[in-house]
Amino acid sequence: MSDNTRKVTIKAFRFNAETDYLPYYKQYEMEVGKDELILDLLNKIKWEHDGSFSYRRSCRHGICGACAIKVNGKATLACKQNAMELLDLFDNELVFEPSSKKRVIKDMIIDKKDFWDKHAQVQPYVVADIDSHPEHESKQSIAEFDKFLDSDLCIQCGACHYSCPALEVNPDYLGPAALNAAYRFTVDTRDNAGIERLELTSQPGVGVWDCVKCFECAEACPKEINPIEKITKLHNMQFEQGVAVSNVATRHAEGFVRSIRKHGFLDEADIVVYSEGYLGMYKHLKTAVKMMKAGKIHWQDGVPFIDNMPKIKNLDEVQKLIDISMTNKL
């Protein structure tokens, strides 16, 4: 074996939803060349080992998004990913799995219905009244185009969507791909549905406030779009455009300013009271008692923490910076 090839053991997830009782892993040994892609290895399994092995492939250029799978848990666009790089990362043993094991139809092929349904909800297209006989193009300046950032590069492969832990446990959440699309069309100056999208993506349980901030989507995206960056922008836009309504999530975000202005630090007890409101606090009484017993909440004059907080040095600087830098309000 030359330096340009390496021996690899591949464990591939196998399951046929129509005939199999349980999924299983099948092992394949092969040599891998330095220029081979994960797609080449998928092809080798099918062409040289087992013709029944199933996966999606189409463009081979990283633009159709069909061949997204997981390799050792890492979201991978098979036609873009060099195999040697992953061998370096995972020590010569690769585990091929579908993007979402819950949604398998056969082997690497999954049912992406939930992905497309979420996508459709955000109106992922320019909503505009268009003259049926236009006399000129609807032009975009460089500055207008720059607003999209890289959100327009999405190929709908589902890598981020099926890496998102919030979606795994909350089927109503739109998820990073749909939210990226919502951002893409909301900042488009030709579009008229921005407010609608911001209202949808501000809904509790559905929109941006259910993002758990794990950065799995940023890690997963083969087009390096960084969906969570767009989710943060959508959060900000809800305040900028007056769409944000006062609720536990928005007060939690805005409440940080209130605490930082007072103490420099976040007041951990106050932020919960402020976000939930006094009526909402009953949910947290049990937790508060537990924390108090463990010495995590400090009391002074019968009041937890309030005005008994440590303060940072040079707090006046922070207060001034808030006054001159803050632009958003709730």
Partner 1 sequence: MSQLHYALFTGCTAKQSTPELLSSTLAVADKLGIKITILEEASCCGASHLQDFDEFLAHVLNARNICYAEKLGLTMITICNTCQLNSAMTKHALDTDPELKARVNEKLAEVGLEYKGTSEIKHFLYTLIDEYGLDNIKDKVTVPLSHLNIAPFYGCHNIRPSELHGASNGHENPYNPTSLDELIAALEGHPVDYDHKNKCCGFHVELQANHTSELLTGNALLDAIDNNADMMVTPCPLCHLKMDTYQDDVAKVMNRDVELPVLHMPQMVALALGCTEKEIGLNFHVQKATHLQVEATA
Minimum CB distance to partner 1, residue 89 (Å): 6
Minimum CB distance to partner 1, residue 163 (Å): 10
**Positions 72 through 131 that interact with partner 1 (CB under 8 A):** 72-74, 89-90
Site string for partner 1, 145-184 (x = CB under 8 A): --------------------xx--xx--x-----------
- Does residue 204 touch partner 1 according to CB under 8 A? yes
Interface segment toward partner 1; rule CB under 8 A; list 22-30, 37-45, 144-152, 260-268: 260-268
**Positions 210 through 229 that interact with partner 1 (CB under 8 A):** 210-216, 218-219, 226
> Tokens 């099918």 belong to which residue?
46
Cα→Cα distances 170→14, 114, 153, 212, 287, Å:
27, 12, 26, 11, 24
The count of other CB atoms within 10 Å of the CB of residue 235 is 21
Residue from 209, 222, 225, 243 binding partner 1 (CB under 8 A): 209
Helices (H), strands (E): how many in the chain? 13, 9
Q: What angle separates helix 113-121 from helix 175-186, to the nearest 10 degrees? A: 30
Which residue, 133 or 313, has its beta carbon nearer to partner 1?
A: 313
- Does residue 330 touch partner 1 according to CB under 8 A? yes
Interface segment toward partner 1; rule CB under 8 A; list 96-104, 121-129, 142-150, 264-272: 264-272
CA–CA gap between residue 249 and residue 258 (Å, rounded): 15
CA–CA gap between residue 125 and residue 182 (Å, rounded): 9
Which residue, 54 or 238, has its beta carbon nearer to partner 1?
A: 238
C-alpha radius of gyration, the chain, whole number: 25
Total residues contacting partner 1 by CB under 8 A comes to 74
Minimum CB distance to partner 1, residue 113 (Å): 22
HEC string for 137-169: CCCCCHHHHHCCCCHHHCCCCCCCHHHCHHHHH
Contact between 237 and 184 (Cβ < 8 Å) = no
Residue from 254, 278, 301, 307 binding partner 1 (CB under 8 A): 254
**Positions 31 through 70 that interact with partner 1 (CB under 8 A):** none
Which residue, 15 or 209, has its beta carbon nearer to partner 1?
A: 209
- Does residue 317 touch partner 1 according to CB under 8 A? yes
3-state secondary structure of 24: strand
**Positions 284 through 313 that interact with partner 1 (CB under 8 A):** 286-287, 290-291, 293-298, 305, 309-310, 312-313
Which residue, 80 or 106, has its beta carbon nearer to partner 1?
A: 80
3-state secondary structure of 299: strand
Output phi, psi for 292, to 5 deg: -65, -45
CA–CA gap between residue 56 and residue 83 (Å, rounded): 18
Minimum CB distance to partner 1, residue 328 (Å): 4
